[in-house]
Amino acid sequence: MSKYRVAVLGADTAVGEVLLDLLIDRRFPGAEIQALSLAPGQGAVVQAGGEEWDLLPADSCDYGSLHLVFLAYGAGLDAALLARITAAGCWLIDAAGALRAVPEVPLLVPELNTGLLFELGGDRRLSAPGALSIALALALAPLQRAAGLKSVQLSSYQAVSALGREAVEELAQQTRQLLTFQPVSQRVFSQQIAFNCLPEIGALDADGHSREERDLIRETRQLLKAPALAISVTAVQVPVFYGHAAAVHLQTEQPLSLAAARELLASAPGLSLSADADYPTQIGQASGEDAVFIGRLRGDLAPAQGLSFWLVTDNLRKGAALNAVQIAEALVERNLL
C-alpha cells in the first residue's frame, strides 16, 4: 500500500485533535503525519490518537513535500498561507469551514457525492459542509430519491464547540459563575449562553436570517442538487458543549408511508435509526460516534404527505473531522491522491 505524507493544520484545535485520532484509528496510509499550528509555543505538544505530537509552525512547513493537508482552522487563516499551500500542489481538505463559502470549492459528503472528485480539473481544494448540513443531507437524501421533497422545516439546537475552544470555555466559566453567584462575563456570545438559548448563530441579514441559517439552506440544496427546494430554518445556540440536534419536518412530492420511510432510513449509509420507543441524544448516542442518529420518526396527524423526525450528530466527528478523513480515503480509493 502506498504511503502518504499528511499534515493537520490546526492540530491544536478541537477538530484537529479529532482528525489526528481518526487518522490513527482508521489507519490512514500516512508514512508521516505532521501536526501544524499557526502559533505553537516552544516545545508545545498535543495528545491525540494515543500519541504525543510535537506542534510545528505552519509557516516553516514544506508544503511541496506533502500529498495532503487537512485544514482544521475555521477562521483566522492568512490568505497568503492558503495560497502558498494551494500553489504547492498538494490536496487541501477543509474540515472546519474556512473554504465552505468559496464558490469554486466543492462541498463533499462521501456517502452522497464523491463523483465530484472526477470533475475538479486542476483545483485540489475540497471542503466538508457544516455539521448540520451533512447530517440533514444524509437523512433527506434517501427520502428524496424515493418520493421527492416538497419542503423542509427544521429547528436546530447547536453545541457551542462549533465556535471553538473559547466558546466552550465561556459556557463552562459562565456556568461556574452563576452557580457561585458571581457576575457573568461575556466574550464570545452576544448574551449569556449558560442556562439560556440564543436564536442567533452568526450575523443576521436584512431579512432576519442568521449566517448559520443561510449556510444550512445553501449547503443542503447544493448537496441534494435541489436549488429550488423550500427550506425554512431556525438555528438556536444551546448551552451544550458537544453535539448538534435538530427537529425536522418535511413534505414529500409523492406518497411515502411511514414504514417505507423507516426502511429507507434504516438502510441508508451513515445513519442509525432508533427503535420506535427510543430516541437518541447528543450525549447518550452521538458523542464520539460516526453515525448521524435519527429517532422520533412519525407521520403527520393530518392526512398529508409529511414526516417528522429528530436527529443528533457529533459536530466535531462526522460533522467535521470524520467527513474530511472520509474524503481523503475516497481520494486514495480512486487513485487520485
pLDDT given for residue 2 in this prediction: 62
Comparing 301 with 181, the larger pLDDT belongs to: 181
Question: Does 204 have pLDDT greater than 90?
Answer: yes
Rounded mean pLDDT of 94-109?
A: 91
Domain 132-314 architecture: 2-Layer Sandwich (3.30)
Q: Which long-range contacts (CB under 8 A, 24 or more apart) does 45-50 make?
A: 46/11, 46/12, 46/16, 46/17, 46/20, 47/17, 48/11, 48/16, 48/17, 48/18, 48/20, 48/21, 48/24, 49/20, 49/21, 49/23, 49/24, 49/25, 50/24
Most distant CA atoms of the chain, gap in Å: 65
Q: Does the structure show a pLDDT above 70 at 16?
A: yes
Residue 246 grid cell: 435538530
Contact 90, 62 (CB under 8 A): no
pLDDT of 1 higher than 60: no
Cβ neighbours of 334 (radius 10 Å): 12
User: Would you say residue 298 has pLDDT above 90?
Assistant: yes
Q: Which helix (H) or strand (E) holds 335?
A: none
| pLDDT for the residue numbered 48 | 82
| pLDDT for the residue 173 | 98
Domain ranges (residues) in the chain: 4-129+320-333, 132-314
Q: How far is CA 197 from the centre of its chain?
A: 21
Q: Give residue 42's pLDDT band: very low, low, confident or very high (50, 70, 90).
A: confident
Task: Please tell me the pTM assigned to this model.
Answer: 0.93
* CATH architecture for the domain at 4-129+320-333: 3-Layer(aba) Sandwich (3.40)
pLDDT tens-digit series, residues 105-148: 999 999 999 888 888 878 899 999 999 999 999 999 999 999 99
20-24, 119-123, 271-275: range with lowest mean pLDDT: 119-123
The mean pLDDT value of the chain amounts to 93
pLDDT at 167 over 90: yes
User: Cell 422520533 maps to which residue?
Assistant: 296
Which residues 6+ apart lie within 8 Å of 155 measured at CB?
233, 234, 235, 236, 246, 247
pLDDT of the residue at 31: 67
Cβ neighbours around 238 below 10 Å, total: 18
Say what the pLDDT of residue 273 is.
96
The arithmetic mean of pLDDT across residues 146-170, rounded, is: 96
Q: Is the pLDDT of residue 100 over 60?
A: yes
